A and B are shown apart, each in its own frame.
Chain A
Amino acid sequence: MATPELIPPSKIEETQQALAQINADYAERYGFHDPENYLYKAPKGLNEEIVRKISEFKDEPQWMREFRLKALEHFLARPMPNWGSPLLAEVDFDDIHYFVRASERAGRSWDEVPEDVKKTFDRLGIPEAERKFLAGVGAQYESEVVYHQVREDLEKQGVLFLDMDSGLREHEDLVREYFATVIPPNDNKLAALNSAVWSGGSFVYVPPGVHVEMPLQAYFRINTENMGQFERTLIIADEDSYVHYVEGCTAPTYSSNSLHSAVVELIAKPGARIRYTTVQNWSQNVYNLVTKRAIARERATVEWVDCNLGSKLTMKYPSVYLLGEEAHGEVLSIAFAGAGQHQDAGAKIFHVAPRTTSNIFAKSISKDGGRSSYRGMLEVAKGAVEARSKVVCDALLLDERSRTDTYPTIRISEDDVNVGHEATVSKVGEDQLYYLQAHGIPEDEAAKMIVNGFIEPITKELPMEYAVEMNRLIELQMEGSVG
């Protein structure tokens, strides 16, 4: 395994200045909070009564109520994972509000959204982004989705894009067929928690052959203190269809902690392609503990583009199970870990069928004592002949107080495969600067090129117009790196 290189001292200050700007204006742009005019706010803590109440509020079918209660048993029976981050032990499940209802139902026009909530999303630029370049928008505030809309032409083609609660109400058979088949409730403690108290999230179905050319976007906002947000998303791309789903998230900055624990299940049927882009920018008092997993059938492609900027602790490892021949999986991951943050991110790919292919590109930047970890799993099952995979992890350490770790696991049970793993940690070094300068490039410009090159594989994959957060932050970094 490669050892992290440190940036030469001459460049540390300059680069730190550039990166110091990342989220420097968080409090002003996202850290605000609204007055609480809620219809219902559960008391802190989790018990059977809360779970039953959530289910009653939503008037759910009995099978879902039983599913929730069984999941609660799993959650209570399981110990907290003893791997990952020491910060995990600090999560206090008794100090969380598990359900907060801000609005009567999900409006289909912004006028139906409560005024305070609408102002928040205006301030975050969501309605403007919707008008300009999105095929559909879902906006979740606390526990539930307050606004949901999809373009009429897509609806006419049979595309379903609903909040998960409406999905269950209006398409129960479809939901029941696929819900929790990718991530069962007792997959892990946090998946069990989500399964017990899930609320909101998106339900997407794309019919065979339909290509949703513009992205569908969901925006998740926490407003209250000590909030738990547990959205549940299920995306089914039927044969030869295509969909790109983008999600963003922010929260006010409080001195006490909140918890975000989502479950996201993707199903790409033969020939389908799903791209799922996340720009995670929670405030630094949020524990972000998320389970994301996808199934790719024959010739299907699943791509996770996963950007983690915010949160106190993120533990998230988007996975793809390549179950059909010639399926392809891809994870592009970037993480920024600043003071007090631990980004424990990564990817998992399982090659189950012949001639499946995958790529994992993970990048991390740690600064001001922040910690980033890459945790990966690459598995090639017996029979997955001619599987090909490439894993590249790059970490950039900006000072001696910061830390980066790489925990790659590779399990190969088949001989006829081609697997490459490069744990090439930081590539910013004096030799690179010297090389570029020797070709007539000024030092400042050389530093910019190196930083740009470091993050470029990810930034080039983001939608150019994406209104919320990541591009702006990356641009700040690039501007700063000019010096």
Chain B
Amino acid sequence: MRNETKETITVCPLSELPPGAMRLVQWEDLEIGVFNCSGTIYAIEDRCSHDDGPLVEGTLDQRNCTIECPRHGSIFDLRTGIPKTLPAYEPVDTFPVIVEDDAIKLEVE
């Protein structure tokens, strides 16, 4: 069971996730993909809504701010979690990102 209240977790120093980089964060039963897309940090659930593909192992497109699932090729908008192509049709969860004191933090609940 996840907590009902919001919690802030620290991912890493900002300098460790330069533009184009991505990394996996585990928190309780959640796996979260954290991406640096041309200087802006985004976080989405690291599980494709089509077939549970690991999104952080996919291809990051910084120009369009999307991640392509390595399993069947669905492309997700990192800003909204909404799939832009089939075969996925349901969005994945997104998480608020805070960058403070040179650290990347996520709000989870």
- Which of the four size classes fits the interface of chain A? 10 to 19
Provide the bound-state CA to CA distance between A181 and B66, in Å: 13
Name B64-79 residues within 8 Å CB distance of A. 68, 70-75
* B38 located at the interface, meaning its Cβ lies under 8 Å from any Cβ of chain A in the complex: no
Instruction: Find residues 157-192 in chain A having any chain B CB closer than 8 Å to their own CB.
Output: 180-188
A185-B75 Cα distance, complex, nearest whole Å: 11
Chain A residues whose C-beta falls within 8 Å of the C-beta of B102 in the assembled complex: none
Selected from A74, A181, A188, A381, the residue in CB contact (under 8 A) with B86 is A181
1/0 contact string of B77-98 vs chain A (CB within 8 Å):
0000000111101100000000
In whole angstroms, what is the CA distance A183 to B72 when docked?
A: 9
A185 touches B73 (CB 8 A): yes
List residues of chain A with CB within 8 A of the CB of B89: 321, 323, 350, 352, 381
Do most interface residues of chain B lie in helix, strand or loop, or is the interface mixed?
loop
- By a CB distance below 8 angstroms, the chain A residues around B68 are 184
Are A184 and B90 neighbours in the complex by a CB distance under 8 Å? Answer: no
Contact B72 A187 (CB under 8 A): yes
Q: Report the minimum CB–CB distance from A74 to chain B (whole Å).
A: 8
Q: How large is the interface on B (under 10, 10 to 19, 20 to 34, 35 or more residues)?
A: 10 to 19
Which residue of B has the minimal Cβ distance to A178?
B85
Q: Is the CB of A187 within 8 A of B84?
A: no
In the bound assembly, the distance between CA atoms of A187 and B72 in angstroms comes to 4
Q: CB of A295 within 8 A of chain B?
A: yes
For residue A232, CB closer than 8 A to chain B, the reply is no
Contact of A183 with B90 in the complex, beta carbons under 8 Å = no
Contact A186 B73 (CB under 8 A): yes
Tell me the bound Cα distance from A323 to B85 in angstroms. 12
Contact with B along A59-98 (1 / 0, CB 8 A): 0000000000000001000000000000000000000000
CB-defined contacts of B71 to chain A, threshold 8 Å: 186
Q: How far is the CB of B75 from chain A (nearest CB, A)?
A: 7
Residue among A184, A185, A188 facing the most chain B CB atoms (10 A cut-off): A184
Q: Are B84 and A184 within 8 A (Cβ)?
A: no
A184 CA to B71 CA, complexed, in Å: 11
- Minimal beta-carbon separation of B83 from chain A (angstroms): 10
Q: How far is the CB of A175 from chain B (nearest CB, A)?
A: 15
CB A335 to nearest CB in B, in angstroms, measures: 24
Beta-carbon contact of B72 and A381 below 8 Å: no
A293 on the interface (CB 8 Å rule)? yes
CA distance A185 to B72 in the complex (A): 8
Are A180 and B85 neighbours in the complex by a CB distance under 8 Å?
yes
User: Given that A187-B72, A187-B73 are contacting pairs, would A182 and B86 also be in contact in the complex, using a CB cutoff of 8 Å?
Assistant: yes
- Which residues of chain B are within 8 angstroms of A183 by Cβ–Cβ distance? 86
In the complex, what's the smallest C-beta–C-beta distance from A47 to chain B, in angstroms? 22
Q: Which residues of B contact A187 (CB under 8 A)?
A: 72-73, 86-87
A164 CB to closest chain B CB, in angstroms? Answer: 18
* Complex Cα spacing A188 to B51, Å: 13
What chain B residues lie within 8 Å of A180 (beta carbons)?
85
Which residues of A lie under 8 Å from residue B74 when comparing CB positions? 184
Query: Which of B68, B74, B86, B87 has the most chain A CB atoms closer than 10 A to its own CB?
Result: B86
Q: Is the CB of A381 within 8 A of B90?
A: yes
Q: How far is the CB of B73 from chain A (nearest CB, A)?
A: 3
A464 to B72, CA, bound (A): 39
Contact across chains for A186 and B72 when beta carbons are under 8 A apart: yes
Cα distance A183–B73 in the bound complex, in angstroms: 8
Chain B residues whose CB sits within 8 angstroms of the CB of A293 once the complex forms: 86
Residues of chain B with a CB closer than 8 A to A185's CB: 73
What is the bound-complex CA distance between A184 and B74, given in angstroms? 7
Cβ contacts under 8 Å, A321 to chain B:
86, 89
Closest CB in chain B relative to A134 CB, distance in Å: 30
Alpha-carbon distance A293/B74, docked complex (angstroms): 14
Please measure, in the bound complex, the distance between the C-alpha atom of A186 and the C-alpha atom of B71, giving whole angstroms: 7
- Could you tell me the distance between the alpha carbons of A188 and B72 in the complex, rounded to whole angstroms? 7
A183 to B87, CA, bound (A): 7
What string of 1s and 0s marks CB contacts (under 8 Å) between A397-432 and chain B? 000000000000000000000000000000000000
Give residues 179-230 of A contacting B (CB, 8 Å). 180-188
Expressed in whole angstroms, the Cα–Cα distance for A323 and B89 within the complex equals 8
Complexed CA–CA distance, A274 and B75 (Å): 25
* Chain B residues with CB under 8 A of A182: 85-86
Report the bound CA distance from A180 to B72 in whole Å: 12
- Chain B residues positioned under 8 Å from A188 (CB to CB): 72
**Which residues of the partner chain A approach B90 to less than 8 Å between Cβ atoms?**
352, 381
Find out whether the CB atom of A181 lies under 8 angstroms from the CB atom of B84: yes
Tell me the bound Cα distance from A381 to B68 in angstroms: 22
Cα–Cα, bound, A185→B70 (Å): 11
Question: CB-nearest residue of chain B relative to A350?
Answer: B89
Q: How far is the CA of A321 from the CA of B83 in the complex (A)?
A: 13
Interface of chain A residues 342 through 366 with chain B (CB within 8 A): 350, 352
Contacts of B86 in A (CB 8 A): 181-184, 187, 293, 295, 321
- Kindly list chain B residues whose C-beta atoms are within 8 Å of the C-beta of A352: 89-90
Report the 9 A-B pairs with minimum CB-CB distance, sorted nearest first: A184-B73, A186-B73, A181-B85, A352-B89, A187-B72, A182-B86, A184-B85, A187-B73, A185-B73
Beyond the given pairs A182-B86, A186-B73, A352-B89, 5 more chain A to chain B contacts, judged by CB atoms under 8 angstroms and listed by A's residue number, are A181-B85, A181-B86, A183-B86, A184-B85, A187-B72
